[in-house]
Amino acid sequence: MRRILQMIPLLFAASVVIFTLLALQPGDPLDELRQQNPRITAEQLEQLRRAYGLDQPVYVRYFKWLGRALQGDFGQSRTYASPAAQLVFCQRLPRTLILSGAALTLALLVAIPVGIFSAVRQYSRADYAITFMSFVGFSMPVFFLGILLLFVFAVWLPEQLPWFPRFPVQSISDFQWVQVTSGEISFFQFIGDWVFKLVLPVLALSTIQMAAWTRYMRASLLEVLNQDYVRTARAKGLGERIVLYKHALRNALIPIVTLVGLAIPGVFGGAVITETIFSYPGMGRAIFDSLVEKDYNVAMAALAFLALLTATFNLLADLMYAVVDPRIRYS
Q: What is the pLDDT of residues 286-328, one digit of tens each?
A: 999 998 888 889 999 999 999 999 899 888 877 777 676 666 6
Separation of alpha carbons 64 and 76, rounded Å: 14
Domain that holds residue 130: 87-167+202-324
What pLDDT shows up at residue 213? 93
What pLDDT shows up at residue 187? 62
Domain end call among 51, 73, 95: 73
User: How much of the chain exceeds pLDDT 90, in percent?
Assistant: 34
Residue 177 confidence (pLDDT) above 60: no
Most confident option among 130-134, 178-182, 195-199, 311-315: 130-134
What pLDDT shows up at residue 161? 54
Taking residues 45-58, report their average pLDDT. Answer: 82
Residue 224 confidence (pLDDT) above 70: yes
What pLDDT shows up at residue 329? 65
User: How much of the chain exceeds pLDDT 70, in percent?
Assistant: 86
Residue 25 confidence (pLDDT) above 80: yes
Residue 222 confidence (pLDDT) above 80: yes
pLDDT-wise least confident of 136-145, 165-174, 268-277: 165-174
Say yes or no: 104 and 45 in one domain.
no
Residues 6+ apart with CB under 8 A from 239: none
Residue 43 confidence (pLDDT) above 60: yes
Taking residues 52-61, report their average pLDDT. Answer: 85
Residues 6+ apart with CB under 8 A from 131: 118, 215, 218
- DSSP letters for 118-165: HHHTTTSHHHHHHHHHHHHHHHS-HHHHHHHHIIIIIIIGGGTS--S-
What pLDDT shows up at residue 175? 46
Q: Is residue 294 one of the residues assigned to a domain?
A: yes
Q: How confident is the model at residue 170 (pLDDT cuts 50, 70, 90)?
A: very low
Taking residues 179-207, report their average pLDDT. Answer: 73
What pLDDT shows up at residue 174? 45
Q: How many domains does the chain have?
A: 2
Q: Is residue 121 one of the residues assigned to a domain?
A: yes
Q: How confident is the model at residue 30 (pLDDT cuts 50, 70, 90)?
A: confident
Taking residues 42-56, report their average pLDDT. Answer: 80
Separation of alpha carbons 21 and 66, rounded Å: 16
Say yes or no: 102 and 68 in one domain.
no
Separation of alpha carbons 183 and 166, rounded Å: 28
CATH of the domain at 103: 1.10.3720.10
What pLDDT shows up at residue 246? 84
* CA-wise closest residue to 254 among 294, 221, 303, 211: 221
Q: What average pLDDT is seen over the chain? A: 83
Separation of alpha carbons 215 and 117, rounded Å: 11
What pLDDT shows up at residue 171? 47
What pLDDT shows up at residue 111? 95
Say yes or no: 163 and 32 in one domain.
no
Q: Is residue 172 one of the residues assigned to a domain?
A: no
Domain end call among 43, 73, 103: 73
**Residue 23 parent element (H or E):** helix 2-23
Residue 183 confidence (pLDDT) above 70: no
Q: Is residue 278 one of the residues assigned to a domain?
A: yes
Query: Residue 169 phi/psi, 5° resolution?
Result: -120, 15
Residue 114 confidence (pLDDT) above 90: yes
Q: Is residue 195 one of the residues assigned to a domain?
A: no
Say yes or no: 215 and 284 in one domain.
yes
Separation of alpha carbons 319 and 10, rounded Å: 19
Beta strands in 154-240, from DSSP E residues, in sequence order: none
Q: How confident is the model at residue 156 (pLDDT cuts 50, 70, 90)?
A: confident
Contact by Cβ (8 Å): 267, 209: yes
* CA-wise closest residue to 106 among 259, 211, 258, 239: 211
Say yes or no: 39 and 98 in one domain.
no
Separation of alpha carbons 202 and 196, rounded Å: 11
Say yes or no: 147 and 102 in one domain.
yes
Q: What angle do helix axes 2-23 and 58-69 make, rounded to 10 degrees?
A: 130
Q: How confident is the model at residue 38 (pLDDT cuts 50, 70, 90)?
A: confident
Tell which wins on pLDDT, 143 or 153. 143
